[in-house]
């Protein structure tokens, strides 16, 4: 697959202020409602934060050229993952499916043919994730795609804080002193892809690339990361980005 590297510079935005501003200024109803239900305050201990793991399958990696094909979400907390409350949507991409993306996701033209445009799922999706912290593995797909897709259809995008399990792995295995030492020795970097990361915590390998399976896999990974490296009292602001 592609060699995806996280952006090294993490921008510590003042998410609470940004969310308040957007709630006051947003025009489209769904977007306004989304921002009016803010996620927990930045100092909330992670053990008390309601979260939702999100994964999407796209036709490619560039939000300007590619489109969303499917989305899966699984709500969870550090105590429990609740697959019973999962949601899954398939959407018709505004740009056509390439042969390579079909081979990758196993989603075919005929399955997509009956699916609605992304516009039809915006209200449901935003309502389902509002008030919760979204958890993804590699935010540089989910964040720009979601923002662009909503912006195109409703005139305004949605940006919000996320916990990125990949960037948590990167902090440990790419940015730590140990990781730099390894690099200095000329060792290849530790893989921080989803399954490789999971394996480090004794989590089973899943057959990837279904949005729901990957969302579940991401939720489990976050629980494992928190149980291994973090205290349950860790404030949300230390984790989100």
Partner 1 sequence: MDAELMEIRQHMSQFSPFDVLCDALLDEVAGQIEVRYFKAGNDILLLNAEAREFCYIRSGAVEVYRRQGELYNRLGEGDIFGHFNLLRDHKVRFPAKALEDTLIYFISDAVFQYLCEQDEHFADFVELERPRLETIAEEQMRSNDMMVTRIRRLLSRPPVTVSVETSVQDAALQMSKDQASALLVVRPCAPDAPRCFHDVDGETRQVCGIITNSDFRTRIVAKGLSAQTPVGEVVSPTLITAQSDLSIYEAMLTMLRNNVQHLPVLYRQRPMGLVHLSDIIRYETHSGLYLVSNIFSRLSVEGLARLVPDVRAAFVRMVQEGANSQMVGSALSTIGRSFTHRLLELAESALGPPPVPYAFMVNGSMARNEQSIVTDQDNALVLDDSFNPELHDGYFQRLATFVSDGLDACGYTYCKGDIMATNVRWRQPLRVWKGYFRGWMSEPTPETLLHSSIFFDLDSAYGDAAMVGQLQDLIAEQAPRSPLFLAAMARNALNRTPPLGFFRTFVMESDGKQNNLINLKRRGTAPMVDVIRVHALACGSKAQNTFERLDDIHQTPLLTSGVSDKLRYAFEYLCLSRLRHQAIDIEKDRAPNNNIEPENVEGSERHALKDAFQALSNAQKFLKFRYPLPGSQAGRR
| Interface positions with partner 1 (CB under 8 A) | 70, 72, 76, 79-84, 86-88, 90, 106-107, 111, 201-204, 206-207, 210, 212-213, 216, 219-220, 223-224, 227-228
Rounded least distance, CB 32 to partner 1, Å: 29
Q: What is the 3-state secondary structure (H, E, C) of the chain?
A: CCCCCCCCCCCCCCHHHHHHHHHHHCCCHHHHHHHHCCCCCCCCEHHHCCEEEEEEEECCCCCCCCCEEEEEEEEECCCCECHHHCEEEECECCCCCCHHHHHHHCCCHHHHHCCCECHHHHHHHHHHHCCCEEEECCHHHHHHHHHHHHHHHHCCCCCCCEEEHHHHHHHHHCCCHHHHHHHHCCCCCCCCCHHHHHHHCCCCCCCCCCHHHHHHHHHHHHHHHHHHHCCCCCEHHHCEC
The CB-of-206 to partner 1 minimum distance in angstroms stands at 5
Minimum CB–partner distance for residue 42 and partner 1 (Å): 25
Nearer Cβ to partner 1 (94/213): 213
Q: How far is the CB of 82 from partner 1 (least distance, A)?
A: 6
CB of 57 to partner 1, least distance (A): 10
Nearer to partner 1, 19 or 194 (CB): 194
Instruction: Between 107 and 239, name the residue whose CB sits nearer to partner 1.
Output: 107
Largest CA distance in the chain: 54
- Token digits for 229? 């490296």
171 vs 209 by CB, closer to partner 1: 209
Q: How far is the CB of 202 from partner 1 (least distance, A)?
A: 3
Q: In the complex with partner 1, which residue's Cβ is closer, 87 or 174?
A: 87
Q: 86 vs 143, which CB is nearer to partner 1?
A: 86
């Amino acid at each position: 697959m592609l060699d995806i590297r996280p952006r090294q510079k993490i921008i510590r935005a003042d998410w609470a202020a940004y969310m308040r501003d957007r709630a006051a200024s947003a025009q489209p109803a769904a977007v306004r409602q989304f921002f009016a239900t803010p996620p927990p305050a930045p100092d909330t201990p992670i053990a008390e934060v309601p979260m939702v793991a999100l994964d999407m399958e796209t036709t490619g990696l560039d939000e300007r050229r590619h489109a969303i094909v499917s989305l899966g979400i699984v709500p969870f907390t550090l105590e429990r993952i609740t697959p019973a409350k999962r949601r899954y949507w398939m959407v018709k991409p505004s740009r056509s499916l390439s042969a390579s993306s079909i081979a990758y996701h196993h989603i075919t033209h005929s399955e997509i043919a009956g699916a609605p445009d992304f516009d039809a799922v915006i209200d449901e999706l935003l309502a389902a994730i509002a008030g919760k912290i979204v958890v993804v593995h590699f935010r540089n797909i989910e964040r720009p795609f979601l923002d662009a897709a909503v912006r195109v259809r409703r005139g305004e995008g949605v940006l919000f804080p996320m916990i990125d399990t990949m960037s948590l792995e990167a902090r440990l295995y790419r940015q730590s002193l140990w990781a730099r030492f390894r690099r200095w020795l000329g060792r290849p970097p530790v893989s921080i892809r989803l399954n490789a990361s999971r394996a480090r915590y004794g989590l089973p390998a899943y057959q990837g690339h279904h949005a729901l399976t990957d969302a579940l896999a991401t939720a489990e990974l976050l629980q494992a990361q928190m149980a291994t490296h973090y205290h349950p009292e860790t404030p949300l602001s230390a984790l989100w980005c």
